[in-house]
Amino acid sequence: MKIGIVLSGGGIRGIAHLGVLKALKEKKIPIHQITGTSAGAIAGALFANGIDPYDALNIFKKTQLLRLFRLAIGRPALLKLEPTFPLFLDYLPHNSFEKLKIPLTVTATNFNTGKLTYFSSGTLIDKVMASSCIPGIFNPIEIEGNFYVDGGVLNNFPLEPLQNNCDYIIGSSCNHLPVIEKLRSMKHVIERATTLSTNHDMEEKRKGVDILIEPHGLGETGIFDISRAEEIFWIAHEEALKQIRESESLTQIILSLKKKKP
């Protein structure tokens, strides 16, 4: 059986994907194909290269990634992503989709044409950065003469590349919004509206996965709130373990895998 996983975008909330992947690894559930957008593209690339999910969390905490960003003076955004390239190269030294241990597809939005692009071959790091390039905050990434921004602009949950290639699809989403009774600030309103927009098609998308792991309330966390990284990781890890325990289909997969072992 071929198992695929789709990892949503969500800024620092994407740390949740690492907690989910850790739970799947602990339960010895193999992943044969990964798709991801934005933070999901970063988490997917690290996991696809064989980096343990908790080690990946510590990479984010140790390097304090946000400090690597630089002001994009005279550019159409506030910050530049390019200074993070050497960091990615430390953990993805081959810089190649083809040399990953698990096939990976990441999405980005072609800002020239206004169309979604799926990347799954060639150089890796520039395409992961393009997938993570939040428009207006980060300067667009140029690839082969076109400018690319965050894939979540057009598809924040890219399950489509898995649908004809996998027998079982796991979804990991980190943007669930709780019901609220009051508005805290203008920042809160803008962040909630943005998350509502990225979630607009999740009800339809959830029909395309066999199991959706979506910790409640994470959508209220700011996309740059690195202080919650460890907490987010373990919240998602526990939610994933709970979903695995309660899922009859995943239980059957685990049992069948155990039977196949000599």
For residue 178, which amino acid is it? P
The yes-or-no answer on residue 120 being catalytic is: no
CB pairs under 8 A, 24+ apart, for 66-70? 66/224, 66/226, 69/138
Q: Are 169 and 1 in contact (CB under 8 A)?
A: no
H or E stretch covering 35: strand 33-37
Q: Are 137 and 79 in contact (CB under 8 A)?
A: yes
Could you identify the residue written with the tokens 């597809």? 105
145 phi-psi bin (left φ>0, alpha ψ -120 to 50, beta other): left
Instruction: Report d(CA 152, CA 120) in Å as an integer.
Output: 17
Helix axis angle, 39-48 to 53-63, nearest 10°: 120
From the list 113, 157, 151, the residue with the least C-alpha distance to 134 is 151
From the list 98, 81, 3, 2, the residue with the least C-alpha distance to 42 is 81
- The active-site residue out of 38, 131, 172, 173 is 38
- The active-site residue out of 126, 132, 150, 173 is 150
For residue 18, which amino acid is it? L
The yes-or-no answer on residue 121 being catalytic is: no
* Active site members: 38, 150
